[in-house]
Amino acid sequence: MKDPYSLITGLRVVRSYLPDPIPDDVVHKILDAGRWAGSSKNTQRWAFVVLRDEASRLDLAKCGNFTVPLQRATLGVALVKLPEGYDFDIGRAAQNMMLAAAALGVGSCPITLHDEACAKRTLGVPEDHGCRYAIAFGYPDMEAERQLRARRTLPGGRKPFDEVVHEGRFRADASGG
């Protein structure tokens, strides 16, 4: 098992999954890691909709533009933002789940639900709630993943440390933005 620091810096999205189902106790641990994320004033303005069957994942996948991982996954979790919730908090819960999953050998990929109205309709989420993101989970199919990564067009890796980290004051010349 990786040490916690390597798990954090080494977390890469996985978009190819084996058909093996994720056992219920592992699913529970992943969700519980999300539940234990910190939130603004500890308001926990979130709910996690668990999609265990393929039909429900395929339905939700119609609500985004790059949802192939959700179609291939063996588990989906939609992140619902309750009224007055914050995207920052939703992101923390999501990252907790993804890191916990990685610690348990499960791969994951965030999924944007570009058509949020579609996502809310599909899942029965009320109008004044948000549902912009989901996470696809599954045991990694590393051979398929290697082939997928070899074909990828997006740049991999990360920006250099000095471009991202600004000491004391923002440096517009270094930000690349």
Ligand X SMILES: Cc1cc2nc3c(=O)[nH]c(=O)nc-3n(C[C@H](O)[C@H](O)[C@H](O)COP(=O)(O)O)c2cc1C
Query: Where along the sequence are the contacts to ligand X (CB under 6 A)?
Result: 12-13, 15, 64, 66, 69, 109-112, 154, 156
Distances (CA, A) of 9 to 27, 66, 67, 159: 23, 24, 24, 13
Shorter beta-carbon distance to ligand X: residue 150 or 172 = 150
CA distance 89 to 44: 8
Q: Least Å distance between CB 138 and ligand X?
A: 13
Q: Least Å distance between CB 156 and ligand X?
A: 6
Shorter beta-carbon distance to ligand X: residue 42 or 153 = 153
Shorter beta-carbon distance to ligand X: residue 5 or 42 = 5
**134 phi and psi angles, rounded to 5 deg:** -135, 170
Q: Least Å distance between CB 1 and ligand X?
A: 20
Q: Least Å distance between CB 32 and ligand X?
A: 22
**46 phi and psi angles, rounded to 5 deg:** -150, 160
Shorter beta-carbon distance to ligand X: residue 49 or 109 = 109
Shorter beta-carbon distance to ligand X: residue 124 or 156 = 156
Q: Least Å distance between CB 29 and ligand X?
A: 22
